[in-house]
A = this chain, B = another copy of it.
Amino acid sequence: MKFTSDDFAKELKSKNIRLSHQRLKVLEYLSENKCHPTVDQIYTSLHKEIPTLSKTTVYSTLSALADAGMVKSINIEDNEIRYDITVEDHGHFKCESCGAIFDFPADMSRLESEVLSGFKIRDKNVYFKGTCPMCLANKN
């Protein structure tokens, strides 16, 4: 699905988030780079286009977009947060050899347990780790 700046602008307005050049650029970047980038990757790339961009802005923008449900933070690594513009439920697999993160369909409703009746669930994450087929092949 391809989004235009205009689509993002409308969505921001509908969520009562002010429109800003920086926010549009972050959304645009995430929609064109679905590799689950880190804050630093997003900042470094956008900084080329927007020399005045501050890393603090990238942090606060992503935080605001995540609060509004427009992006999802991925904590598959202990040391840095990654972001995903795909907010629909799905699992993430991290290859511990090459570092790549893969999406896979994951029906999280199947994980519902009677133990959680009475709990209000706001967010669900499924993180798998291991080795991807390419890295498995390269070992041989």
Interface membership of A70, Cβ < 8 A: no
Report B-chain residues with C-beta under 8 Å of the C-beta of A104: 113, 115-116
- Count of chain A residues with a beta carbon within 8 Å of a chain B beta carbon: 37
Residue contact A129 to B123, C-beta cutoff 8 Å: yes
Report B-chain residues with C-beta under 8 Å of the C-beta of A111: 91, 106-107, 110-111, 126, 128
A37 vs chain B, min Cβ distance (A): 16
Interface membership of A121, Cβ < 8 A: yes
Residue of B nearest to A80 (CB): B78
Interface membership of A131, Cβ < 8 A: yes
Interface membership of A3, Cβ < 8 A: no
Q: Give the distance in Å from the alpha carbon of A113 to the alpha carbon of B91 in the complex.
A: 10
Cβ contacts A71-108/B at 8 Å (1 or 0 each): 00101111001000000000101001000001111110
9 A-B pairs within 8 Å (CB atoms) are namely A73-B78, A104-B113, A105-B115, A106-B113, A119-B136, A121-B128, A124-B127, A125-B125, A125-B128
